[in-house]
Structure 1
Amino acid sequence: MAADVRADNAPYDDINITPMLDLAYVLLVTFIILTTASVQGVKVNAPRTQAASSLAKPQTRAITITQDGALFLDAYPVSLDELSQRLAALKSGNPALPVVLKADARTQYRKVTEVLEVAKKLDITELGLVTQRQPAEP
């Protein structure tokens, strides 16, 4: 017998890590998919209401106003003029463009009305206001 041939009952000197690497790759891909699949946007503290329902259609655009009055369109910072231009371009491609407005509860009301005026000028009729559901009182 040759020196490199081992008997059937001899212990292994190495560990096969291929199944462990396969599992690590599956977990990595799952983690990447779950973290990028979250709703895009800027986090704000939305006001609470009793009738909060924010069902968004797949092509819905989100306008966000932060506490300090910064405007975002789908997580991209914009000025009021840029918002108007981009919404006009989107509306030309989709006449029934659905838009949701997410504003922080402490946002100045003036900023909200400015965004609503832009939507009115562009004849955006499918406009929703995002709120949080207020917990029911016992």
Structure 2
Amino acid sequence: MQVQEDKAYDDINITPMLDLAYVLLVMFIIMTTAAVQGIKVNLPKTSSQPSLAKPKTVSVTIANDGKIFMDAVPVSMAELEDRLRQKKAENPELPVVVRGDGETQYRNVIDVLALLSKLEITQLGLVTQRLVQ
């Protein structure tokens, strides 16, 4: 049996270097796409605003004590269903924004979301507040 002589490696293992290069590439792609905000342009000024038809967003608010408000008007769950059904008949793509108090019971928010699902309202947004550090 022959003993191998101590000789210098003639290969360099580049796998860790490639791993690092891929991580840096991914980070670069993520940071550049996050930094792109759009092109700034100076919009022309007009004497009157054109009347563009915007869909009216319905706001459903659930207070801390469980009371439900639709566009700042207190409603019961049955009234909310009736009003949303009417608005949905007027606009099939009715956008709804749900604002739930942070201290309200989770069940109250789930009941409202279940009602929206029952009425087949798909344009839905949940409002949160940005955490200030």
TM-score range for the pair, normalised by the shorter chain length = 0.5 to 0.7
- 1:99 equivalent to 2:87? Answer no
Give the 5 Å matches for 1:1-138: 59-136=56-133
CA distance in 1, matches of 2:67, 2:82: 17
Instruction: Tell me the CA shift for residue 134 of structure 1.
Output: 1.0
CA-based RMSD of the aligned residues comes to 1.1
Instruction: Tell me the CA shift for residue 85 of structure 1.
Output: 0.6
Residue correspondences, number: 80
The normalised TM-score by structure 2 is: 0.58
Larger radius of gyration: 2
After the TM superposition, list the runs of 4 or more consecutive aligned residues in structure 1 that deviate by more than 6 angstroms. Answer: none
Question: Structure 1 stretches of 5 or more lacking a match?
Answer: 1-56
- Percent identity reads 54
Instruction: Tell me the CA shift for residue 58 of structure 1.
Output: 5.2
Instruction: Tell me the CA shift for residue 135 of structure 1.
Output: 2.0
The normalised TM-score by structure 1 is: 0.56
Could you report, residue by residue, the CA deviation over 1:9-43 in whole angstroms, capped at 9, with x for unpaired residues? xxxxxxxxxxxxxxxxxxxxxxxxxxxxxxxxxxx
Q: Highest relative contact order (Cα 8 Å, sep 6+), 1 or 2? A: 1
Question: Quick check: 2:98–2:127 contact (8 Å CA) kept in 1?
Answer: yes
CA distance in 2, matches of 1:121, 1:65: 18
